Structure 1
């Protein structure tokens, strides 16, 4: 009861007269703070002028000034609400709830220490230390141990001071090992964001980094060193295109988690599931991967950026499985997500490219959408200056677009560009699939769009294409639709062109007669 009395005294004496929060229960209140939140909630794309008019009745300068003050005040109140978010939803990363619990205890203990309430502060610090150690949040465990050591020094508790000093020394040694592993991992990760040639260089350095990470984990035996070692292994296999090994690794790790060998307070099974699904896409197991994608999708919260990354792979699996209707539904799901706009521009442009492929395969009757498709397909987005990756997918789509339109001028203009692109940027053996498909496309123009000739001469290339392995991420190759399926689509276009030409010739003869 004494501790409760102490808290009552501190809070009643030191509390703010007006709490800096929003009262969300007042749904019909006239408070402008809440009105602004409701307006933004209803329309995230609303303009500032429209907000000012809605709140103040006009957009005069004095109202603009009042709005700037209102905006600043509401922003600060919303930031205060971040202390009270719900972290219990299992669709969020599992470690977050334990981390926030630990930080909350640390914050409370620090305030009580400042109020000289050492007994209650000690209890909270020790509780935070327990949470940090159980969740293997070593950086927070170090902070807790350090604060407890200071507290014991202030209260002249020598036995506990010595014991906590020993605990702190152990934690700091562990943290040093984890810090080195973290540095190695993020040095590797930053290179993954660079161009293809940088990723190829990284692939050569990874064995040495993995060897060091193995040594660090052997010493530390902590979740953090395991995590950095595991994700680096995954990156190596992904870069080299060894996706079968990723399927094996993810399955083995999930088994170890179920056996209690991996800390479930930290392990993000969603990452494991994502990598498994992505590996099934890359190993041409689209139907099996699609089943897994549907099963795991429920584990991702729609507000998370990972939700969009996962949905991209889910959509690609549907396209590789020939389930274009399902792919379109997934695309619409992404578009309707209220957090779609928070993605980086490169990610948003990828969604546009997926939509363009779907629109090409299943043209919609909407004139507006067709105009948007036509405008998009004739311009190369600026999200990648690299010479591989999605640029290959764009060039292929452009070629097929002009082929379907029988736009000879447009095709010839791109013919030389395709040939030069292959010679300059697709010389690596790992890009064999793109090399072969480019040659097959170029053959359609060379053989004057003759269906049977193209089909016959491309047959050896098609066999090589089917036998060619998928390249790794280090080589940046992305097949939105498998090249084999795109070749069938190309032959279908040639067949339609031949039929249209025959019909036109018959019509001409009829007019002559």
Structure 2
């Protein structure tokens, strides 16, 4: 099912207006299947197979229907016109060049060599200009063979033969740079934890690229070279040097004068994440706005960057700004194009903002129409996630129960949270969540008495302060726990005399 949802996402995210996808007649099973995916009715194979055939996903007719729909969607993607404002000039060239290369190969296979060669020569000039080395290499090889076999033109053969050899050197350098980058990046995929033990390897790989390919200047080589350097510093959380490498990369791609906004965006985003880790709101906001200006409004990266900017606002107590971002994004006409799992994230942010409004931390006339009773009784898309956003949801549900002063339900939820903590949050990666949940348990056990909670929960709070807020886990820790704990004590605690704020 994830493959079909992904294909639908590609189509909707590549068109400016919401289109009605048609793969069959209105009452056709194929069309019903597609519309169920688009509407979110079908999020997995069990839902789709039961609705369409009243059986399980292994039913042969269901599997055949699924394959037919996939082939139909492949055809729809090949028909996409990428010449719209959702794509930069370099992206338009990238997509159209790949389509035209396929056309050249089809024409040659069908013996339409006059059309094929004319298109190949025209496309080669464009692909060389935009540093599309893999396409250029294939085209130069085709043209070399043509002028040798069909034309017997020695001069043109030698010209394209030289082109093939020089492009081959560039392509091999690109492949090596990509390999080196992935040798390091795979470790970030496995775990978000820092890996200082890998720094010597990363330094060696960076130096090897510098030494072996010092004369290679293609955009793909430089992309992976700079990303490798960024990863080298991310391994040891050296965010100042991450920012320095990103600035160097942005200057390089800007100076190519090829409108490579998508590549510049990658490094602006790395810079933004570095400022998020450093909790530098002003510089983070500045670089985020620079990154946003590089991409068309409403594309997936536009939403993703705004989501990260909202997290930065939460993590630096800029709650009013977080509300502004939320309103801007949730009211955007392309918001409905997002995957349901992404819009669920925004529901969680909405719940935290709603809580901040209710306790008067955010003073606004804005009415966030959160259906709180429904929210308190559901965990939408994350039931299989044993840590992740489940933690953020469970915590914000308790926050809203505190607002409602439903002490019995608060006790029940915190008890359930204690069991959840015991089962799923026992390793070091979840230490901060574990400490915060234990503070909530103490708060409940001590009848919300601030002084007693401070005394009996001291060890958990000290552990919390000893561990830094990790921006890579900001989907779990929406508001840093120190700030959130302070809000809870000052808004709901039964205060004794002389109680001080725990966070300055």
TM-score (norm 2): 0.68
Residue matched to 2:369: 369
- What are the ranges of 5 or more consecutive residues in structure 2 without an aligned counterpart? 1-14, 33-71, 359-363, 497-504
How many Å apart are 1:350 and its aligned residue? 0.9
Residue matched to 1:335: 330
CA deviation string 1:117-158 (max 9, x = no partner)? 85x976653443233223221111112201211220211112
8 Å contact 1:145–1:167 — kept in the other structure?
Answer: yes
**Higher RCO structure, 1 or 2 (CA under 8 Å, sep 6+):** 1
8 Å contact 1:223–1:263 — kept in the other structure?
Answer: no
How many Å apart are 1:441 and its aligned residue? 2.2
Q: Distance in 1 between matches of 2:354 and 2:481?
A: 17
8 Å contact 1:94–1:268 — kept in the other structure?
Answer: no
Note if 1:157 corresponds to 2:153: yes
Distance 1:414 1:244, change over 3 A: farther
8 Å contact 1:217–1:226 — kept in the other structure?
Answer: no
Residue matched to 1:434: 433
Note if 1:228 corresponds to 2:227: no
Residue matched to 1:24: none
Aligned length: 430
Residue matched to 2:249: 253
Residue matched to 1:70: none
Note if 1:283 corresponds to 2:278: yes
Residue matched to 1:379: 378
TM-score (norm 1): 0.67
Residue matched to 2:170: 174
8 Å contact 1:93–1:268 — kept in the other structure?
Answer: no
Q: What is the CA RMSD across the aligned residues, in angstroms?
A: 4.6
8 Å contact 1:384–1:390 — kept in the other structure?
Answer: no
After superposing the two structures, state which structure 1 stretch, 404-413 or 451-460, moved more: 451-460
SS at match of 1:490: helix
Residue matched to 2:8: none
Distance 1:189 1:340, change over 3 A: farther
CA deviation string 1:413-466 (max 9, x = no partner)? 343444455455545555443343333322212322113433566567556644
Q: Distance in 2 between matches of 1:384 and 1:185?
A: 34
SS at match of 1:160: helix
Q: Distance in 1 between matches of 2:224 and 2:434?
A: 35
After superposing the two structures, state which structure 1 stretch, 282-291 or 201-210, moved more: 201-210
Distance 1:201 1:368, change over 3 A: closer
Larger radius of gyration: 1
Q: Distance in 2 between matches of 1:233 and 1:385?
A: 35
The correspondence for 2:83, drawn from 83, 86, 92, is 86
Residue matched to 1:479: 477
Residue matched to 2:52: none
How many Å apart are 1:76 and its aligned residue? 11
Residue matched to 2:143: 148
Residue matched to 1:490: 488
The residue correspondences of 1:299-318 to structure 2 (distance < 5 A) are: 299-318=294-313
After superposing the two structures, state which structure 1 stretch, 357-366 or 478-487, moved more: 357-366
Distance 1:347 1:240, change over 3 A: farther
8 Å contact 1:178–1:225 — kept in the other structure?
Answer: yes
Q: Distance in 2 between matches of 1:208 and 1:48?
A: 58
Q: Distance in 1 between matches of 2:300 and 2:396?
A: 27
Distance 1:216 1:267, change over 3 A: farther
Would you tell me which structure has more helix in proportion to its own residues? 1
8 Å contact 1:188–1:202 — kept in the other structure?
Answer: no
After superposing the two structures, state which structure 1 stretch, 317-326 or 149-158, moved more: 317-326
Residue matched to 1:139: 134
How many Å apart are 1:297 and its aligned residue? 2.6
Distance 1:471 1:366, change over 3 A: closer
